Structure 1
């Protein structure tokens, strides 16, 4: 009987001691999560972790600097603050059932306010198993967030998803779905999102890089500008991303798709863009990644961050150039109201050295590039005329801001000016044989190899730096 009593006491003592031990493990893993967010660009303004025996509470305030759309203030940065409040239950017994290391339930506040109503049944839960692996579950039901003086009305269609991770966060699989979201001002809907889905799989390569790929899709996106004069409707948007290693180098591909785009009544699409990058040394990319993370940890002012980032890129430039990196647009195709536009482009340096970067003649000698483009003549005229209109309007606005009295041309005068400029430019390019006319289509082909530029089969002399001074 005494032995049983002693055994019972030992079991109870062990069960009471386990949450204390677990608490230390959970806090360490939570700090890693915060550090990863900080490395991703979020600035930690405050972090409090209060650990108890059977649970803990954590509060972390983040600041995310984003560019503010204010034309009067160059490089204007707006800071958006949000907080993550977490209630943590230590194992071994989990409230949701079973055993594990911890269960974390989280609330998100923006500028000190709950994003959702107080009684909103939001579920953002992290479950961590004994080996450190776990899953994050997101279940946000549909709701309406009423407007106030700081924000418009938001009709939120809900969000659900799951992220699976292993103990070291070296393998992460994520799925997320947002059925719908709309933003309204009064009775007018300014923005609508429908059918957003994301699915990604990534892993930490032995080099220290996160590689992998994923798919991002949106069924419909609508945007109406405040002036009600500009509306954009995009349907069936998609992007496929993939990256991997070939020997010691990293390569990647990005494919963007669009079924249709209605811009102020003009219909574009379908469209596709396929891009690829190759010969990127994994070691160099890791160094750049670590350098950028160190900049984030130092919490430098925005201007100093830009200089520091440039320094990181410059210090890794020699090894990056030495690997002969390549970039290409393997396919570009879009249907426009005037007809189909198609093109491709590729560029690669071969044997270029970092010390030759300032030598334009050496760069030209060691670049291999090809380009093709085909478009309707009417589309060329449309694009060039639109560019002229925008330039004239900007110049008029700049002169007005300087206090000048400017005579504004009538719409038909502006159109005539833009059309005449487009015609002049087109005839110049046709005469120079930079563009070739074939019926209603314009096309061009160009290549650069061993310092020789060829456009539509015709060799084009390249200017030699310093030649004019020598003469």
Structure 2
């Protein structure tokens, strides 16, 4: 058999087999997407309102419409149910095994986001008809794959009904996501060059956002609880009051911000360790950087945490609950008491690992820990029993000059500031003599602990009521 004949036979076989392979790939990608939107049903606030799927032999078209409840602030400051945010994702799907003859995969999806309503119309006009978000996703036969997302730059003006407006400028962003079957795990990397917001009183500008994540589900049957790592950095964030606004000359500048979250899973439990910091923290003309806020939460029961999260989202999207809040703000949080108390019964521990900043007078630092150990179900509704099992401790170190400056800032004139500083110096001397604090050079240091209903400061029993009576 000649070589040309072999080629013709191979092409004929391919022409016969490929439609069957494409039909199988079309079936596979539809089942992958069915699984994805089945998971969406468990989300308490983002609802799939409509989904259509037109399947062909070599390609398909899918349109999925979503609704998300959007509470709005009323004139009296209470939250009310506003018009839901409506958006749709339209995907043109090319079936494998050679989707678009560009790769070997089950399918390739080209998707674009459509935002509806007044905000959507304004955004489309600003983008010149471009989609606010596009994505190309390649899905492998096992359900995993890769998605490359991007958003174009835009400027948008959102009126607030009072002849004022919020102006938003966005440079666009890019993100790459690798995911496993059923989104049981994923890694993500992305960047955004800049974001600006301006209203009649304030203008805010953010630049150089970089973010990444490496996460997986703690439970196979829980679609919205992921554990793992997340990180974001921002080159700068600046906010300035406008000259003709209501905020005077307020301003602040943050540079080289970082935000790291580590959430390891341990069986049915997870820990959260967050590290937040900025190299520059300038308020007006004073730089308080480097500044750090690090905290940890340990031994959180995963399923109870999700119960609390879902209940919180249900409250924020329920018009009846929001109406109740207008009459009694405390009633808004009553439904959270059950899952919150159950969470406490699993002995979580909270700690402020570090709050620190640098002032012209030196560095101020705080660390603290809080825990409830051995709480029984019948004790959850008894505040006295909870207080008896509360354990807390804290260490504080503050420059004396910073304390005196704060006291002086409350005064109306220099004489009153001098008097306040003298009074404070006297109070510090009394507390030092009683052993409740130490002064090391320019630093004022103290520690406190609460256990078995007893408060101690620097190891000495402390009664705030008795102090107030002296």
Counterpart CA distance in 1 for 2:94 and 2:82 is 38
**Structure 1 regions of 5+ residues with no counterpart?**
390-411, 464-471
User: Superposed, which structure 2 residues align to 1:24-173 within 5 Å?
Assistant: 24-25=30-31, 27-29=33-35, 31-32=37-38, 34-35=40-41, 38-39=43-44, 41-42=45-46, 46-53=49-56, 54-65=59-70, 68=73, 72-75=76-79, 81-92=85-96, 93-95=98-100, 97-98=102-103, 99-109=105-115, 111-113=119-121, 114-115=123-124, 117-118=127-128, 120=130, 123-141=134-152, 143-145=153-155, 154-173=168-187
Measured after TM superposition, the shift of residue 104 of structure 1 is 3.6
Does the 8 Å CA contact 1:375/1:441 hold for their aligned counterparts?
yes
Does the 8 Å CA contact 1:381/1:419 hold for their aligned counterparts?
no
Name the structure 2 match of 1:314.
Answer: 338
Normalising to structure 2: TM-score of the pair?
0.76
Shift in alpha-carbon separation, 1:205–1:4, aligned structure 2, 3 A: closer
Secondary structure of 2:127's partner?
coil
Measured after TM superposition, the shift of residue 371 of structure 1 is 0.9
The correspondence for 1:274, drawn from 294, 302, 305, is 294
Name the structure 1 match of 2:254.
Answer: 234
Shift in alpha-carbon separation, 1:423–1:177, aligned structure 2, 3 A: farther
Does the 8 Å CA contact 2:178/2:187 hold for their aligned counterparts?
yes
Shift in alpha-carbon separation, 1:200–1:419, aligned structure 2, 3 A: farther
Normalising to structure 1: TM-score of the pair?
0.76
Does the 8 Å CA contact 1:43/1:296 hold for their aligned counterparts?
no
Measured after TM superposition, the shift of residue 86 of structure 1 is 1.2
Name the structure 2 match of 1:446.
Answer: 448
The correspondence for 1:195, drawn from 205, 208, 214, is 208
**Structure 2 regions of 5+ residues with no counterpart?**
1-8, 466-470
Counterpart CA distance in 2 for 1:60 and 1:183 is 28
Counterpart CA distance in 2 for 1:75 and 1:422 is 43
Q: How many residues in Structure 1 have an aligned counterpart in Structure 2?
A: 431
Does the 8 Å CA contact 2:64/2:90 hold for their aligned counterparts?
yes
Secondary structure of 2:99's partner?
coil
Secondary structure of 2:403's partner?
helix
Does the 8 Å CA contact 2:315/2:321 hold for their aligned counterparts?
no
Shift in alpha-carbon separation, 1:277–1:384, aligned structure 2, 3 A: farther
Per-residue CA deviations over 1:259-296 (Å, capped at 9, x if unaligned) read: 01111112111012221111323453354456567778
Name the structure 2 match of 1:393.
Answer: none
Name the structure 1 match of 2:190.
Answer: 176
The correspondence for 1:349, drawn from 372, 382, 390, is 372
Measured after TM superposition, the shift of residue 422 of structure 1 is 7.0
Secondary structure of 2:190's partner?
strand
Does the 8 Å CA contact 1:365/1:451 hold for their aligned counterparts?
yes
State which drifts further: 222-231 or 282-291. Answer: 282-291
User: Superposed, which structure 2 residues align to 1:242-321 within 5 Å?
Assistant: 242-246=262-266, 248-289=268-309, 301-302=321-322, 310-311=334-335, 313-315=337-339, 317-318=341-342, 320-321=343-344
Name the structure 1 match of 2:3.
Answer: none
Counterpart CA distance in 2 for 1:300 and 1:126 is 40
